[in-house]
Structure 1
Amino acid sequence: MGAQQRHPMKGRRDTIKIEFLSNKEQHSYTPGDEIIGYAWVKMSEFLIPGCVEIALRGRSRVENDAILQPIRTYRQHNFLEMQQLVEVDAFTSYEVVENGFLYKFPFTFTVPDQLPIHACRHQEEQLSFHNTHLNLPPTMGIVQDGTKGLQSRSLCPENLSIAYAVEIKLKDEKAGFPHSKEPWNFAARQITIIPLSEIISSSKILQGSFFNQPRPYPPPLYQKHARLDSLHIETLTENPVSIYLPTNPIENSIKDITTIIPLRVCYNRKHRGPMPRLNKISRNLIAHTTLSDIQDRALKHGKPRPKNHHLYTSRLTLPSFNMSAQSKNTMEESRGSHYEAMLQVPVSLSPDLKLEPSFESCLFSRSYTLELCIFYRLAGRMNSYSTLLKVPLEIKITR
């Protein structure tokens, strides 16, 4: 008997095992991929048609804050359900094994490009949100796969999980199937689903006010000094900076993904004296996760977020960038006492970080901001000064 015909549950009683046939890394799938496998069911009695349910489900779970509420509660929402038709012939092609009968139920699911139309329940005048809200959310949070904990992605709040799983339920026909709600046997295996960049609508991800997220384009920051000199630093990108991460960096032999962010440094000098010296840039990647335990049907663009929405911020510190070599002798006089310098700031992300892509849905959203803190020194001063610049980012996943 070949590898696909093996008996994984011989010697057990009334057990279910789910077996995947694909060679996907850690069972990670993207839209359009097929999830192929078998459900091995070993029973001490015969199974009859109609008592086996095989489905692919997407489920979100939001737990309450244990500090504010002593009893740990949660809200769960099923946003995706795809049923597998179980052929009647599968109930007659059993195999007699020790202490029972072994059944083999094949299943095939194709990861959809979008959620069903009823997954977004906004009012008719808000149809512009549907294209964004019907995109599949990525697997997030810590989910359970049998006895092992599987952390699918990083920078996710501890009280949130978005999980996909193939589930097998055996329902008791004697209890009035299909009206019996509780299965008398159940098994599930987690999978990871990662939406691709061409499916995510990037035009609304960082437009800000829908969930009252931080403004992606902050006003220019000016640093005033005692001599009335001014230093102004700005980015030269009009749109959010896109960073593309591969779905399988190990297979593609990719180490770090680097994106260059151009900066313009403007210095207006009112009195004679040396110009400021740029030292370094500290870089922080900020992940903004908006989550809700209730789906709102009347969200309107530009309104404050509802009370049941919560914004969580996670910070990832990146290595600092030394600017002394790059900025030396680059300040050029453009007119009178106005000086400018162009800087190229690299931002490198390791694929091992496993960042979720930017997305937005009815219940959840994820956006990113790159926080640049520019340090510099003034002539005759011992202290180091700094100014803060925030750059909106979009994380996208490609094949």
Structure 2
Amino acid sequence: MSTPRQTISGEMPSFLTSGVPAYSSRSRSFALPSAQRRGSAIANAIGLRKRNEIEIVLDGETDFVHSYSTYDEINGHVDLRFEKDTSFDDVNVTFEGQTNTYVEKIATTAPTTGRTTGRHTFLKVQQPIAEDVLPENGILVAGVTYTLPFTFVVPDRLLPFICSHKVDIDEIRREHTQLPPSLGDPSVSGDGHILMDDLAPDMSKIVYAIRARVTKWNAIGRLLELADKSERIRIVPGKEEAPPVNIEDSESDYVMRKEKSVKKGLFKIGKVGRLTAETTQPRSLRLPHPQKRQIEPVSTMATIDLRFDPASPDDLPPQLDSIVSKMKVYTFFGAAPYKVIPEARRHDNWSTLNGIYPESVPLSSRALSTVSWVRHSGTERGESFSSSDLSRRPSGFSTMSNSSFPEPSCAYEAGSLFYTAKLPVPIALPTSTGSTRPKVFVPTFHSCIVSRTYTVEMNISFRTPGTNVSSSHVTLKTPIQISSEGGTPPSQIQETEAAIAAEIAQQFGLYEARQLEEAGLSLESPVYEENPSQGLLSGTRHMSLADPVPSHSSPTMQSGVDSSAPPEYRAGAYSTYGARDRLGGPRTQAVSLPAPPQA
């Protein structure tokens, strides 16, 4: 058997094969990264493995899952304890967010197969560490516990350079710089008490974690990792309802209006008229704050307008039987970034760089026997009308008037009478009760390599008057958004990117002025201070410390940045991470694997 080969490239691999990825099922078991896999208990017991040197403790209630939203503070502390005296150069405590995807590629002729993976580190915020917390001599004494408190604030957006790839319109880039929710990790997909299914496949995962890392530089300038520990948390960012989706009837997967002929009799011989159904995009389903317990289900309301144009004045409208609604959940994932908002109909099933995973969730089903039709004369043309304008109708029809009605069907003749009806359709997300694994929904979002959208399908069944068997049905598909409630923003917050850039320039200016003063030049050096009342500056750095805390000294080998620099912008701390963990746009990696043995 040949040894698997791995090729890493920042560009699109040129040797990708054509194949149809099979995403019909998904596993409930997610593999942890190698850095977070736990060793066996036997190996720990006999001393073959070291005990954990780092312990991350989060403040708050001891819920099963620690959940946060936009502007929430993440408080806790890191405990460092080593079994023997350990020399170190740097200790980093960061709040990180990373997206991981993969797309299977199937070779039809070659003896190997594999996958193309995508990795995107979109968030990394560093906690300043006071000088008096760690020993000055750079040696952690054996058996002594060093406690490092931390406070992070969940940002409301990402830095602009996080989305650096090409996009078709600027709106895509604005979507990609919004904070995405936690996705695809069953260890945090819950409401604090029970694990839930967030309807994501194995091929997409968005993970947030508090990470503590102790490193040291060796004699040849290579960075050694002494200890590394991550504690995953659940992030559900605040998401406001966006404007309605721009739907193009010729290319869109949505069906906002549908016409269908109503056949005559049980054997459907002849036509009694034409039925038209149309709807509009409903208001969003708004999720509560992840730390709140909501008893009532999250719900909204959709409305379907019906119109029946009879073939003759004697033909009556069809009898409505029932309406069944369900939600289609689409998770889009890719090893290459998206230039447009992904849609199910436009997805290329043969693509080896992008994939789609659909799930269907039943919502409700109810009878429509009590819905009444309203009869209108052919002279009615206004948007509204009163009951006095209606002609005489049988007792089975309603006398109430509607404020509007659909446009005529293709079979309508001017001046003919027609019938209308209005169907309110309640839409509610399933609750977490029941014997099956409960579902948890995340807000609608679009990131560089992962997106989540929702569609509601409403199926109306009807039958011809005088028959007892449901003869036909009409289905509408409308987009629906899921928004979410965020935390309380600070009283003073700068919203524009120009203000963010100005502050960054100011902080670097203070740092350069300090260096000139130390060099002996006569130049005043203002004092760098943090203002806790400003809160978080649009995701660039957290300002949650009550008092300014200086960072501990960093070694000169880390890039020559002196410890007097502002702590949030110390380049040395970020350069200690590998290329796969650096901030920036998504990175693509092609991995070739041996083909499975043939039976």
Q: Is the 8 A contact 1:375 1:386 kept in 2?
A: yes
Structure 1 window deviating more from structure 2 (344-353 vs 309-318): it is 344-353
Measured in 1, the distance between the counterparts of 2:342 and 2:100 equals 25
Measured in 2, the distance between the counterparts of 1:300 and 1:196 equals 20
For the pair 1:259 / 2:300, whether they are aligned, the reply is: yes
Output one character per residue of 1:4-43: Cα deviation in whole Å (capped at 9) or x when no partner. Answer: xxxxxxxx84521100013385211111111111111111
* One-letter identity of the residue aligned with 2:208: Y
Measured in 2, the distance between the counterparts of 1:175 and 1:300 equals 49
Match of 1:41 in 2: 80
Q: Which structure 1 residue ranges, 4+ long, deviate > 6 Å from structure 2? A: 66-69
From the superposition, tell whether residues 295 and 154 of structure 1 become closer, same or farther in structure 2 (CA, over 3 Å): same
* One-letter identity of the residue aligned with 1:241: R
Count of paired positions = 369
Helix, strand or coil: the match of 1:184?
strand
Among 159, 163, 170, the residue aligned to 2:207: 163
Q: Is the 8 A contact 1:232 1:265 kept in 2?
A: yes
Match of 1:390 in 2: 477
From the superposition, tell whether residues 113 and 258 of structure 1 become closer, same or farther in structure 2 (CA, over 3 Å): closer
Measured in 2, the distance between the counterparts of 1:392 and 1:28 equals 28
Which of 1 and 2 has higher RCO (CA within 8 Å, sep 6+)?
2
* One-letter identity of the residue aligned with 1:356: V
Output one character per residue of 1:100-130: Cα deviation in whole Å (capped at 9) or x when no partner. Answer: 2211111111111111111111449843433
Match of 2:358 in 1: 313
Scaled by the length of structure 2, the TM-score of the pair is 0.55
Helix, strand or coil: the match of 2:133?
helix
Measured in 2, the distance between the counterparts of 1:144 and 1:252 equals 20
Measured in 1, the distance between the counterparts of 2:220 and 2:59 equals 34
| Unaligned residue ranges in structure 2 (runs of 5+) | 1-49, 189-193, 264-269, 378-415, 433-438, 487-599
Helix, strand or coil: the match of 2:328?
strand
Output one character per residue of 1:168-219: Cα deviation in whole Å (capped at 9) or x when no partner. Answer: 1122333667x41x62321111111112123x7x237x4468xx99444544
Q: Which has the higher strand share?
A: 1
From the superposition, tell whether residues 283 and 301 of structure 1 become closer, same or farther in structure 2 (CA, over 3 Å): closer
Match of 2:449 in 1: 363
Q: Is the 8 A contact 2:373 2:420 kept in 1?
A: yes
Structure 2 matches for 1:235-314, cutoff 5 A?
235=279, 237=280, 239-248=281-290, 251-271=292-312, 272-295=314-337, 307=351, 308-314=353-359
For the pair 1:65 / 2:104, whether they are aligned, the reply is: yes
From the superposition, tell whether residues 258 and 301 of structure 1 become closer, same or farther in structure 2 (CA, over 3 Å): closer
Structure 2 matches for 1:115-130, cutoff 5 A?
115-123=158-166, 126-130=169-173
From the superposition, tell whether residues 165 and 357 of structure 1 become closer, same or farther in structure 2 (CA, over 3 Å): same
For the pair 1:111 / 2:111, whether they are aligned, the reply is: no
Helix, strand or coil: the match of 2:146?
strand
* One-letter identity of the residue aligned with 1:319: S
Q: Is the 8 A contact 2:86 2:142 kept in 1?
A: no
Structure 2 matches for 1:179-190, cutoff 5 A?
179-180=222-223, 183-190=225-232
Match of 2:430 in 1: 350
Larger radius of gyration: 2
Measured in 2, the distance between the counterparts of 1:242 and 1:23 equals 30
From the superposition, tell whether residues 392 and 64 of structure 1 become closer, same or farther in structure 2 (CA, over 3 Å): closer
Helix, strand or coil: the match of 2:460?
strand
Structure 2 matches for 1:68-79, cutoff 5 A?
74-79=117-122
Q: Cα RMSD between the aligned structures?
A: 3.5
From the superposition, tell whether residues 213 and 59 of structure 1 become closer, same or farther in structure 2 (CA, over 3 Å): farther
Q: Is the 8 A contact 1:221 1:388 kept in 2?
A: no
| Unaligned residue ranges in structure 1 (runs of 5+) | 1-11
From the superposition, tell whether residues 214 and 27 of structure 1 become closer, same or farther in structure 2 (CA, over 3 Å): farther
Match of 1:18 in 2: 56
* One-letter identity of the residue aligned with 2:428: S
Measured in 1, the distance between the counterparts of 2:120 and 2:368 equals 48
Q: Is the 8 A contact 2:88 2:215 kept in 1?
A: no
From the superposition, tell whether residues 127 and 50 of structure 1 become closer, same or farther in structure 2 (CA, over 3 Å): farther
Q: Is the 8 A contact 1:40 1:103 kept in 2?
A: yes
Q: Is the 8 A contact 2:375 2:417 kept in 1?
A: yes
Q: Is the 8 A contact 1:155 1:287 kept in 2?
A: yes
Measured in 2, the distance between the counterparts of 1:73 and 1:300 equals 21
Q: Is the 8 A contact 2:84 2:141 kept in 1?
A: no
Measured in 1, the distance between the counterparts of 2:368 and 2:261 equals 19
For the pair 1:234 / 2:278, whether they are aligned, the reply is: yes
Match of 1:102 in 2: 145
